[in-house]
Amino acid sequence: MNAPILKGALGLATGLALAGGAALAQDDYPERTIEVVHQYGPGGGTDRFVRAVAEPFAEIAGEQMVPVSVQGGGGIPAVTNFLQRPADGHSLMAISPAQVIAHVQGRIDMADFMPLARVQFDQALIWVPADSPYETIQEFIAAAEADPGAVSVAISGAAGFDEVTVGLFGLETDTTLTTVPFSSSEMVSNTVGGQVDAMFEEFGPARGLWESGDLRPLVVFSEERLPVLPDVPTATELGYDVTLGRWRAFAMQAEDEMEHAQTLYDMIGQAVETESYKEFEAQSALQYRSELIGLDEFSAFIDGEIETYTAVLRELGYIE
């Protein structure tokens, strides 16, 4: 899918090279606690992500890493809080597709960020209740083709990652799927109860409902099938280019020092290879596609995300 990359999106960290091995020697950095600003509540997925990295990071860096929750305002207050801090390498922001969407909508500028390290990369699926008449994703698509708009998919929130991915799947399959936004708990109850035809969710949060037999997966949006769901096809193998995933990452300010960026990237790289982080990753079912990428590679990844989100949000009518 081709759409123009927004101007200024990524002059973010060009020229940085990832060097393997130990962190650059900077005896005095970090010299105090690293604060990680995010837009979500304490105890949520992003908060737990930061804390899971922070535990081994403290042992590696000799300084603490702590999450700072700044909620409300569609994430804008969190970005404002972050950008008002000194660009001295001791403040990070936890970023995700939410920041890409805000950039595409013109509410923030990704050029203000230096992408540092993408740590988590999840994969979502279309789930149907156990008694659904749709046994395969092909039957699901056929029903949507036969009666445009009649097939409903529960999502979490509007104009976010969920709606973009379901919208992209609709574009790829040339179908009209009706998305119905709910809170997470309402989404599950309305899907299991049959008030909607299906729901969109990552494997980790839906795993318990799959294990209990309440939900069945029809398709996974990833390049490869999940080892735990070997019979569930990917969208790509069916000819539909839908591989968007929910990711979580760290960013610095664009004006931060490159030496600090390399040092932090190396320390984060060590932290996510520790036993404690790997246990957290497995408990959250995040081990299947998550791969640490940083600096130049992460910047290129965000460029691609901006291109895709721009095209889909335009088709959905959220931007001109």
* CATH code where residue 100 lies: 3.40.190.150
Residue 207 · residue 289 · CB < 8 Å: no
**130/224 same-domain check:** yes
Helix and strand numbers (H, E) in the chain are 10, 11
pLDDT at 6 over 80: no
**110/254 same-domain check:** yes
**Cα–Cα distance measured from residue 95 to residue 317, given in angstroms and rounded to the nearest whole number:** 24
From 217, 238, 259, give the residue that closes a domain.
238
From 181, 209, 238, give the residue that closes a domain.
238
Domain range for 39: 34-121+246-315
- Indicate whether 2 belongs to any domain: no
Mean of pLDDT values over 52-64: 98
- Indicate whether 108 belongs to any domain: yes
What is the tally of structural domains in the chain?
A: 2
CB atoms within 10 A of CB 213: 8
pLDDT (tens digit, 9 = 90+) per residue, 141-177?
Answer: 999 999 999 999 999 988 899 999 999 999 999 999 9
At residue 89's C-alpha, the angle toward residues 88 and 95, to 5°, is 125
DSSP 227: T
Could you tell me the CATH number of the domain that includes residue 195?
Answer: 3.40.190.10
- Indicate whether 278 belongs to any domain: yes
The single residue listed with the structure tokens 């791969």 is 291
pLDDT of residue 20: 37
**109/130 same-domain check:** no
**197/171 same-domain check:** yes
pLDDT of residue 51: 98
pLDDT (tens digit, 9 = 90+) per residue, 196-253?
Answer: 999 999 999 999 999 999 999 999 999 999 999 999 999 999 999 999 999 999 999 9
- Indicate whether 6 belongs to any domain: no
At residue 218's C-alpha, the angle toward residues 126 and 186, to 5°, is 35
Q: Is 129 helix (H, G, I), strand (E, B) or coil?
A: strand
- Indicate whether 7 belongs to any domain: no
pLDDT of residue 27: 64
Supply the mean pLDDT for the chain: 92
**285/143 same-domain check:** no
pLDDT of residue 157: 87
pLDDT at 7 over 60: no
- Indicate whether 230 belongs to any domain: yes
CA torsion through residues 206, 185, 36, 247, sign: positive
pTM above 0.75, yes or no: yes
**101/131 same-domain check:** no
**156/210 same-domain check:** yes
**70/100 same-domain check:** yes
Between 219 and 27, the higher pLDDT residue: 219
pLDDT of residue 217: 98
CA torsion through residues 179, 185, 189, 192, sign: positive
- Indicate whether 10 belongs to any domain: no
Question: Above pLDDT 70, what percent of the chain?
Answer: 92
**Cα–Cα distance measured from residue 55 to residue 34, given in angstroms and rounded to the nearest whole number:** 12
**212/144 same-domain check:** yes
**258/111 same-domain check:** yes
From 238, 264, 289, give the residue that closes a domain.
238
Virtual CA dihedral for 34, 35, 37, 40, nearest 10 degrees? Answer: 110
Residue 9 · residue 305 · CB < 8 Å: no
